[in-house]
Structure 1
Amino acid sequence: MIMPDPSTSILRQVTGVRSGESDVELSIAARPAGTVGRMPGYLTGESLAEQGIETTLPNLPELELPPADPHPYAVRISWVAPDTVRITVAPPGAGVLADDGTWLGVVTDPGAANVPVTVADTGRAVVVESAALRVSIDRERFALRLDDVATGAEILRTAERLRQAAGLPVAPPVLANRDGITLNLELGPGEDILGFGEQFGRLVKNGQRLVLRCEDALGTGTGLAYKPVPVWHSSAGYTGFVNTGAVVTADVGHSMPSVFGLTVADDALDLYVVGGGGPRERLRSYTALTGRATVPPLWAFGYWMGRCRYHSREEMLDVASRARELGVPLDVLHCDPDWLVVDRLNCDFIWNEERFGNRRQFVEDLAALHTRLSVWELPYLDPASPRFAEAESKGYLVRRADGELAEIDKTPAPDGRPRMLVDFTNPDAVAWWQEMHEEFLADGVAVFKTDFGEGLPDGTTPHGGLPGHHAHNLYPLYYNGAVWDAVARTTGRSALVWGRSGWAGSQRYPGQWGGDAESTVAGMQATLRGGLSYAMSAPGFWSHDIGGFYGPELTPELYVRWTQFGAMSPLMRAHGLRPREPWRFGDRALEICRRWIRLRYELLPYLWQVAHESARNGWPVLRPLAFEYPDDPVAAGIDGQFMLGSELLVVPVFDDGDPAVRRRFYVPAGRWTDVLTDETVEGPAFLTREVPLERIPVLARDGAILPRVPVDGHVRRTDDLIGRPWTLHVYGDGDVADRELTGFDGHSTRVTVSGGTVTAEGSQPVSGRARRSGMSS
């Protein structure tokens, strides 16, 4: 029995072709479609032969065909670079077909205006080819395939070949229905899919079904995500990006093992595909479209501490003083919502003088202890705030379609009162919000933690005319961008926020942290997986709460293990509901953590190089092995360790006990040297080592050159490192010629290492001899 759905149709035939200089627009006949009882697969009104139905199947039921009348769709194939094609599917006349890609604010650079392409229409297929990619569209069944021109390899194809026994297609290339528009791709043998933002499950997404909707995830183990991103990488050789704010569902071989289905809750699909090269080259092209991070200030790479909550000025000054007494370097001390008068899910920038005194004086008192101040915020207003009436009367708050004020969604309020949201599509509201930041920056506040942002409900009508179904996921991008812009404009320096929520393009507003992890081994493991996944979709500067944010009482040993992981992360902050200062976990934990914090400061010259490399190229600082070793068949599945830049392999230990742990880990091809023990190993290989609480494996690859700076008890923060000479640690027995290093002052120094002697030309002092490690005897 046929089960028609009047909203369901399948794109079937190409009926017209219009060619431009760098684009082709196809007219498509979409056919109404239905299913046959409980059988998988779709049936259209064309003849059974045209549909490829197996009429000789013995138990084939009587098939009643749906209506055959087609309705029009349009598909535009355009090029923003030779290696980047944009495929837009929409009803004829839709605005997205004529847009350059920037209308949502995710894409910031539409790319080249005229990319040379050739168009051939063979009668059976339309073939559009640039210097790097070839797109072939079958005229009769609207099948689409992408090939790499240089290698001839097929890198992407729709799933029209996949059928059930009666011949009904189970995954039509493009299906439109009441859920939105679905693109079905065929997963090739051995093809791995990575990405989709900060997802806390396994790094390889095959077998998973992900709903990309920004949520207050309330942890890392709930199946929700603070920072989903509709960007993924395929080991077949391409990177995909859906330019949307609508909810995207990615079914990666979950419902059907050989089908990768993408459903966008919209009537249009705006897909960018970057092909050719490895993840390095493809992320460079993707971030050329959506923006790259700038390098944060040097102090941002130091050690941060926070707590939810420090309740007074005296409490925070005591923490800063204690860090100095105990010789723990500390650059930033963070204050959560207690700095506000109305401080429960509200931010109106009214400073609580009763708790913290005069703001400028407080900043100066912290500065006397060589510490900067970070303050918390969120984009919600409580009706109890004195500034609520102003925001409402001036139209600064988001409204629903019925004209009423929109209330935050899914985040519980402590007192039952609704909270409203600042409308960041309203330029006047943005200016009002930014102006309140400027007063804090003028008093010396260093950075804002841009918390929350996931609470915009569905069905809103933002001031700027943004369609409501795009608004929810784009809200975090606009929110963090507004604050980042205020910091950049007011201070004139490279800006920084500390954001929890995000979407595609969020990498251009560094940095982000991994949300509210549970203080357990599982929480630590999920945190790293989230960071690795995010690195492949929003590459830049990511971090996490050392010790986790909530949950069972944190053991000193897990705190140590998390601190070791944090010391090797792009940014480093200890934070949680309970105290996270290292001296709170006993003398042994303090000693080990202090050693790792100081090691981080020693390695800051190296991390500084990675930061600049990442910002230039649109690469992550914390990297999955699959990023650095895309041709290694093992690397994609490794999500319990990571690369810090290209030179260091870091192996966190996921354990909360005191005894030494047997840790199994993978080293890629080549020779590697543990920077703490000088042990040399050869890869590719899985290794098992007995790892005491005092250390974790941190290995440098052969050929690495790590600039380091001496750190002793006199180093209180990163400012104390400026002007100190660097020592080059060279791994392997080859010479390094003409390595260019970026000094802490931003100027370049060219160094040459030959026979152990260092020659340096530039402003950064570099020691005259290189320490060689891991050399063969």
Structure 2
Amino acid sequence: MYLLREITAVRPYEGGVECAIRAVRCVELPGTPGYLTGEPAADQGIETTMPNLPKLPVPPLDPRGFVLRVAFGSEDAVRITLAPEGARVLGEEPGWLGIVLDGTHGPAPRVRTADVAVGPGGSGPGMADTAQTVLHTGRMRVRLTRRPFAVAVEDTATGRTLLRTGERLRQVAGFPMAPPVLAGDSGTVLNLELGPDERITGFGEQFGPLVKNGQRLRLRVEDALGTGTGMAYKPVPVWHSSSGYLGFLNTGAVVTADVGHRRPDVLGLTVDDEALDLWIIGSPSPKTRLSRYTALTGRAAVPPLWALGYWMGRCRYHSAAEMNEVGDTMREHAVPCDVLHVDPDWLVVDRLNCDFIWNTERFGDRAAFVAGLRARGLRLSVWELPYLDPASPRHAEARERGYLVRGADGEPAEVAGTPSPDGRPRALVDFTNPEAVTWWQDLHAEFLDDGVAVFKTDFGEGLPDRTAPADGTPAHHAHNLYPLRYNAAVSSAIAARTGRPPLVWGRSGWAGSQRYPGQWGGDAESTVAGMRSTVRGGLSYALSAPGFWSHDIGGFFGPELTPELYVRWTQLGALSPLMRAHGLRPREPWAFGDRALEIARRWVRLRYELLPYLWQVARETAEHGWPLLRPLALEFPDDPVAGSVDDSFLLGPDLLVVPVFDDGPGPVRRRFWVPQGGWTDLLTGERHTGPGHAEQTVGLERMPVLVRDGCWLPRLAVDDTVRSTDDLADRPWQLHLYGAADGLREFTGFDGSPFDVRVEGDVVRAEGDQPFAGRVVRHMAER
């Protein structure tokens, strides 16, 4: 293991500087915390006067050279690249792994560089009077301490230190416990010092508490087998610090994030790679940070309106007749619905295989089946995964053409991590091979031509280690990048074939996955705990891959779902970015009794009433890179309580959603945090003023949904005649104002056309074609 010790040279580099760094061997002390090099004890800061200092083995220095590049991409974003001399990353563009799309995201900033004398220098050439090299823009400052090597990043506007490496953290004998950078065969470790009140959030779809302090997270894409196993379908090496920055590791390698778990004051980031490619985006506003980050890695387009409607699925519908019956029963019960989903029974060979061979015995002619659903106002969602069974003729075709991922031995690699029902080794499509991508995309073409609306891009977590991707992607990057490339291929196929914004329903993901909407939270257990962890996963994911995320209403597996928990989960789903019910057993609302049907129908209709609002928020996501589902701290970053709230959320900027985590029939006393300002309960009109805690007793038919003062909430009327979003295009919207004065605001219609709306008294006035009815409904604070 090597400890990066000193900067020996600094030279100009585009947008910043490049530094030569001398590293020396080190050992981790046996039986006590700390690290030791072969340098003189005084140079290491060791307390040699300690009376019980043991005699320790001294490693050889064996110096090694590293390169550090510090370059500003914008006024508030800096890229710090650190690698051994000659490492591949030093010769690559930022987008070489396919995560970063735009490495500049704006005009190049003016970067000023200075050498600063702050104390005795080191022993290297030209360092006697200089201890630091400082780079700064109008917004950020980076301090590079030359000896001992250290890094600090500051916000020049606020004067705050955003982050600093952990060189100050030592044990009683003076041995460093968190050296800034350690490098070795097991990877590269970056140690950052955590401030006294610093909170860390993010790291993708993690199902534990939103604030990650005290947790140790292994960021490796896994078939997590639920939401309570400690694994993650969509980990993302992106995090936020309450000190005012977003960190992003541009890597496909496994990352271990130790957030004050081993050392209470250390954020330790271990990358299973020889290099660190770290981006720091500084801003007090987490929304601004997400905008900058998604400018780098891409944003989701607004999906079609029908995607925001109600989706219904089951594992499994076994035939066209069964699905048509579900569609007809939806209409009989006057439950609006836009999408029916079919899981793998549409295939002939359907166990961990997708070869796009339609099962006509079960589902008949595909085009006729899709047309029949459309006559009912429904669209079809079709399941897929990127694995091929040797029993399928497509397997032999793909193998012969070289379209399968190969192992180091040159033979097709086998899916790992997910058990197969018969033991046959499934192969994986190689999405680094352009010809394989085209072949896979072409397999979707006839389905899209027949009217299939969306593909559920399931799995994608099974690429084994030690593969040899066709494009030369290093094997240790390939596993986590596989779902990004898989979803990109399918999303691009949909866009190219249909000419509309594409939509998938993906389970696995990595950094950048937000640009391929949407994703869902995997296989949650049908319990209160499963519902609770699902919300946490969505909030955590929103901070790292902001876009269109959702979940399976009712959970996917586990104990038989109670009618009451089904209702509570439906309420949550109705106020989620996307709304889909799905599970191993029936999830149709009439399967849970008349009372559950009545309540669920009411909440599904409420969702359709709120579609004009959701449509506006979706435009924000596309334009600014903000999630639809938002942790409270995203809108209230200065609220010390909001930062740790993970049992409620904001849908867009103005709706506070308070899920009820309960599976019983009786009323529930729900306590929740209300942020700053005035809020009105959407359903009861009850007023709340924050910041502070509130309590409501809610029967099964209710869930607290609060509207923020200042909200202009567009809604429309939904009655028994509304079957799907197809019936909403010509319906007038009604504008509800909450504690708001007259004024002018911009909206976007369902056709994508923007228009200005002016409110004067109780009248709405707008230019040109617009969907608003003529009068305003006011919900004033004095109510």
Query: TM-score by structure 1 length?
Result: 0.98
In structure 1, the residue matched to 2:25 is 32
What are the superposed Cα offsets for residues 522-574 of structure 1, whole Å, 9 maximum, x if unpaired? 00000000000000000000000000000000000000000000000000000
In structure 2, the residue matched to 1:422 is 429
In structure 2, the residue matched to 1:87 is 80
Any idea what SS the aligned residue of 1:700 has?
A: strand
Distance in 2 between residues matched to 1:95 and 1:774, nearest whole Å: 61
In structure 2, the residue matched to 1:116 is 110
Distance in 1 between residues matched to 2:475 and 2:736, nearest whole Å: 54
Give the C-alpha shift of residue 178 in structure 1. 2.2
Superposition pairs of residues 33-72 of structure 1, within 5 angstroms: 33-72=26-65
Letter in 2 for 1:62: K
What are the superposed Cα offsets for residues 97-148 of structure 1, whole Å, 9 maximum, x if unpaired? 2323100000011115743101112311011111211000111111100000
In structure 1, the residue matched to 2:600 is 593
Letter in 1 for 2:687: T
Any idea what SS the aligned residue of 2:154 has?
A: strand
The more displaced of 427-436 and 61-70 is: 61-70
In structure 1, the residue matched to 2:384 is 377
Give the C-alpha shift of residue 149 in structure 1. 1.1
1:171 aligns with 2:178: yes
Give the C-alpha shift of residue 82 in structure 1. 1.2
How many aligned residue pairs are there?
769
In structure 1, the residue matched to 2:132 is 125
Distance in 2 between residues matched to 1:482 and 1:708, nearest whole Å: 36
In structure 2, the residue matched to 1:5 is none
Distance in 2 between residues matched to 1:508 and 1:471, nearest whole Å: 19
2:311 and 2:581 in contact (8 A); partners too: yes
In structure 2, the residue matched to 1:20 is 13
Superposition pairs of residues 337-352 of structure 1, within 5 angstroms: 337-352=344-359
CA RMSD of aligned residues (A): 0.9
Query: Which residue, 618, 622, 625 being the options, matches 1:618?
Result: 625
In structure 2, the residue matched to 1:4 is none
2:567 and 2:596 in contact (8 A); partners too: yes
In structure 2, the residue matched to 1:474 is 481
Distance in 2 between residues matched to 1:423 and 1:517, nearest whole Å: 29
Query: Which residue, 745, 748, 752 being the options, matches 2:754?
Result: 748
Any idea what SS the aligned residue of 1:768 has?
A: strand
Letter in 2 for 1:223: G
2:13 and 2:69 in contact (8 A); partners too: no
1:187 and 1:258 in contact (8 A); partners too: yes
Letter in 1 for 2:774: G
1:679 and 1:774 in contact (8 A); partners too: no
Distance in 1 between residues matched to 2:334 and 2:62, nearest whole Å: 78
What are the superposed Cα offsets for residues 246-294 of structure 1, whole Å, 9 maximum, x if unpaired? 0000000000000000000000000000002311100000000000000
The more displaced of 114-123 and 404-413 is: 114-123
Superposition pairs of residues 503-514 of structure 1, within 5 angstroms: 503-514=510-521
Superposition pairs of residues 230-379 of structure 1, within 5 angstroms: 230-379=237-386
Give the C-alpha shift of residue 723 in structure 1. 1.3
The more displaced of 63-72 and 684-693 is: 63-72
In structure 2, the residue matched to 1:538 is 545
Letter in 1 for 2:750: F
What are the superposed Cα offsets for residues 20-62 of structure 1, whole Å, 9 maximum, x if unpaired? 3412110000011013331210011211111111111111112
Distance in 1 between residues matched to 2:156 and 2:169, nearest whole Å: 25
The more displaced of 34-43 and 351-360 is: 34-43
Distance in 1 between residues matched to 2:76 and 2:504, nearest whole Å: 32
Q: 1:11 to 1:736 in 2, by over 3 A?
A: farther
Any idea what SS the aligned residue of 1:370 has?
A: coil
What are the superposed Cα offsets for residues 142-192 of structure 1, whole Å, 9 maximum, x if unpaired? 110000011111110001000000000000000012220000000001100
Give the C-alpha shift of residue 79 in structure 1. 1.4
Give the C-alpha shift of residue 749 in structure 1. 1.9
The answer for unaligned runs of 5 or more in structure 2 is 117-129
Any idea what SS the aligned residue of 2:772 has?
A: coil
Query: Which residue, 446, 454, 463 being the options, matches 2:461?
Result: 454
2:13 and 2:71 in contact (8 A); partners too: no
In structure 2, the residue matched to 1:561 is 568
Superposition pairs of residues 606-685 of structure 1, within 5 angstroms: 606-685=613-692
1:723 and 1:764 in contact (8 A); partners too: no
Superposition pairs of residues 728-767 of structure 1, within 5 angstroms: 728-732=735-739, 734-767=740-773
In structure 2, the residue matched to 1:721 is 728
Distance in 1 between residues matched to 2:239 and 2:161, nearest whole Å: 17
Superposition pairs of residues 366-445 of structure 1, within 5 angstroms: 366-445=373-452
1:580 aligns with 2:587: yes
Letter in 2 for 1:435: D
What are the superposed Cα offsets for residues 328-362 of structure 1, whole Å, 9 maximum, x if unpaired? 00100000000000000000000000000000000
1:747 and 1:762 in contact (8 A); partners too: no
Distance in 1 between residues matched to 2:746 and 2:780, nearest whole Å: 22
Letter in 2 for 1:116: R
Distance in 1 between residues matched to 2:392 and 2:763, nearest whole Å: 64
1:502 aligns with 2:496: no
Any idea what SS the aligned residue of 2:446 has?
A: helix
Any idea what SS the aligned residue of 2:201 has?
A: strand
Give the C-alpha shift of residue 736 in structure 1. 4.0
Any idea what SS the aligned residue of 1:62 has?
A: coil
Distance in 2 between residues matched to 1:473 and 1:37, nearest whole Å: 34
What are the superposed Cα offsets for residues 730-752 of structure 1, whole Å, 9 maximum, x if unpaired? 001x3142111100011012111
1:748 and 1:762 in contact (8 A); partners too: no
Query: TM-score by structure 2 length?
Result: 0.97
Letter in 2 for 1:735: A
Distance in 2 between residues matched to 1:351 and 1:387, nearest whole Å: 13
What are the superposed Cα offsets for residues 693-731 of structure 1, whole Å, 9 maximum, x if unpaired? 001000001111100011000000001010111000100
Any idea what SS the aligned residue of 1:210 has?
A: strand
Distance in 1 between residues matched to 2:712 and 2:252, nearest whole Å: 42
Distance in 2 between residues matched to 1:128 and 1:439, nearest whole Å: 55
What are the superposed Cα offsets for residues 621-673 of structure 1, whole Å, 9 maximum, x if unpaired? 00000111110000111000000000100000000000000101010011110
Give the C-alpha shift of residue 63 in structure 1. 3.4
Letter in 1 for 2:114: A
Distance in 2 between residues matched to 1:616 and 1:351, nearest whole Å: 38
1:21 and 1:114 in contact (8 A); partners too: no
The sequence identity of aligned pairs, in percent, is 67
The answer for unaligned runs of 5 or more in structure 1 is 1-7
Letter in 2 for 1:178: D
